[in-house]
Chains A and B, each alone.
Chain A
Amino acid sequence: MTGIAESDKAQLPTHQGTDLAGGLRGAVSDTMAMLWRDSVRTLRQPEMLVFAVVMGVFFLVLFNYVFGGSIGAGAQIDYLQFLVPGVLVITALQGAQQTSLGLAADLSEGVTDRFRSLPMSQVAVIAGRTLADAARNLAGLILVALVAFLMGYRFTSFLGAIAAIALATGVGFAFSWLGAAIAVKVRQPDMVGMLSMFWLFPLMLASTAFAPADSMPGWLQPFAKYQPISVASDAVRELANGSGVDSSLFLTLGWVVALLALFVPMSVALYRKVI
């Protein structure tokens, strides 16, 4: 009897997966599964994408036709060329807010407990979400760029357009992790919605997305020049309008790395901790 059991033992599947490579492969597979799940959900809920695009178009129309005249005249710039890259970054930021809201709603659903009872990498629950939101953001950005084109905006080159949209998507992805950390910490969707106003609006409005920093009061300028949305707006503007790359691109990439380095481990730790 024992002999048969022993020989059977030799054919055991080796899915114990304690080695690092196996663990990593598992985490990638889980993230792909969650990405698939979140993408299916996004496609079945196109309102989120529509909302993102409508907000982008709203900003384009509002700022260009309402404030554009005075801001453009004051700074002596072609305001639409200035505005569109900023709106791309803002659209990506809005997408990050939706990560926060969506994840909080997701966590309050019973399916999250099932995920936690599965032999899966728990990071995947958040990573799948942020990646799916990045994909949705990319689609939203392309649509907003098309509307901008119809309004008369012109990218200087196709490559520049790709680089600009890619960078905006990257910034949105980094902020998605900030949104995820808040969602995992706070949990209640309505609370998360309120909290997101606190980081979203200062970053959005006290930035160079809609107006040059020169026109702002002196005390605000340091923040308005170096906060992530400003440097991102500047960098996307440079890429889109072909005005040459300067330090803002590197500052933007630095912000992206810093945000990820801070909020990826934080959101994972908070997610693991929660009952």
Chain B
Amino acid sequence: MHSVLQGLWPGRGSRVRPPTSIGAQGAPRRDLPPSGGTYLKANEASQVSDRYMDIVSTNIDTMSTSNSTVIEAQGLYKSFEEIKAVQDLSFAIPAGKVLGLLGPNGAGKTTAVKMLTTLLPIDQGSASIAGFDVAERPEAVRRVIGLAGQSAAVDEKLTPRENLELFSWLYKIPRKERRARIEGLIDRFDMTEFADRPVAKCSGGQRRRLDVVAALVAQPQALFLDEPTTGLDPRSRSELWDAVQALAAEGTAILLTSQYLEEADRLSDHVIVLDKGREVAAGSPEALKKRMGQDVLEIHVSSEDDRSTAVGAVTESAVMTSVAGSQQLDINVEGGAAQSLQLLRRIDDAGVSIVDFQLRRPTLDDVFLALTGAPTSDSGVTPS
């Protein structure tokens, strides 16, 4: 199996205009530090599990010039009359990797997903899935993609089992195989409990799970999850995240859109931040956060008096945010744990009893708010 797959992934072909690549083989983003080569290399695609063999094999002819990139977008543009929904969006997602498209409502995330999944014509630029051009071979593209989330729901009147039956029928999965495959999915994604209840009577979490599972019946190479956890409770969200990570681990290339920075942070190998249709930043979640600068040491004390004493104790050596009347100090630290310890010790020596403290990395929230020009959070992080 290894040798067969390796035969399928020849070396990287030359490109006139390399798109942003998650993989180490891509050219680094102009506005980002190199991402350190921790990503998938071409031959690691042999980790792709057996279940991808069929689909992969059928694509040999058209794949001859591509590498492990499954989802590729180059300079996508889309306008709706006056509104420029997507402008110059480029990326490449290899097998087994997750790209997070992050942005507020109206940033162009869903439009991008719809263009890549053949639901919307592309105004300008090009896109391909598993080597098939989205504009020229929409039929072929539809065979290798799965779409779930905001822009693709399930049938509310049918039960989850019936929905899966319908979609596998429409994917032309032979009748004999359907049952086993559906039972396998129901089992794997822990849907037995609600498999025979009309979707309208399922909980939000159950519905979203079915949503994603319905996109998996044909074992897609490329999975598009459009805000898959919007409106979910934390437990259901975390379950869905586990499922997404498992799918990526099996070799599925995943494009995830989210308004939740935590979600993109947790799931994505690479994040593109969109605002008003434009890319405003791109990089690994770590790189993005690093770009936003220092860690923040957040200290809670028990009284206003203690607060001012503490401020006095560290005021020469640190930049801090502390609101008069509060019982909290946020100190920017560059030296990580060592410097934090030093600062804490100094406050302690001044006779202040520290109730609580934490060393906080800037969150993607900080990054996001800074980049999209929305009001910054009170963590003291400023736009770069």
Contact = CB atoms under 8 A, between A and B. Distances in A.
Nearest to A275: B120
A12 B162 CA distance: 29
Contacts of A16: 58, 140
A149 B142 CA distance: 52
Interface string B137-153: 00110110101001111
Contacts, number: 101
Contacts of B156: 109, 111
Interface stretch (A117-125, A140-148, A164-172, A201-209): A117-125
A37 B120 contact: no
Contacts of B140: 16
Nearest to B138: A119
Contacts of A4: 3-4, 7
A116 B152 CA distance: 9
A98 to B, nearest CB: 15
Nearest to A115: B170
Interface residues of A, number: 34
Contacts of A12: 57-58, 60
Given A8-B4, A29-B172, A40-B158, A114 B60 contact: no
A109 B58 CA distance: 33
A44 B58 contact: no
B167 interface: yes
Given A13-B54, A119-B171, A40 B162 contact: yes
A110 B153 contact: yes
A61 B139 CA distance: 53
Interface string A33-44: 100110011001
Interface string A105-137: 000011101111111100000000000000000
A30 interface: yes
Given A110-B152, A117-B117, A119-B139, A33 B166 contact: yes
A109 B153 CA distance: 8
B107 to A, nearest CB: 19
A113 B151 contact: yes
A114 B224 CA distance: 11
B204 interface: no
Interface in B165-186: 166-167, 169-172
Interface of B: 3-4, 6-8, 54, 57-58, 60, 114, 117-120, 139-140, 142-143, 145, 147, 150-158, 162, 166-167, 169-172, 198, 214
Given A9-B57, A118-B170, A275-B120, 15 more contacts: A1-B4, A5-B8, A8-B57, A8-B60, A12-B60, A13-B58, A37-B155, A37-B162, A37-B166, A41-B158, A110-B154, A113-B151, A114-B152, A114-B214, A116-B119
The 10 closest A-B pairs by CB, nearest first: A110-B153, A5-B7, A114-B152, A119-B142, A33-B169, A1-B7, A117-B147, A41-B157, A119-B143, A120-B170
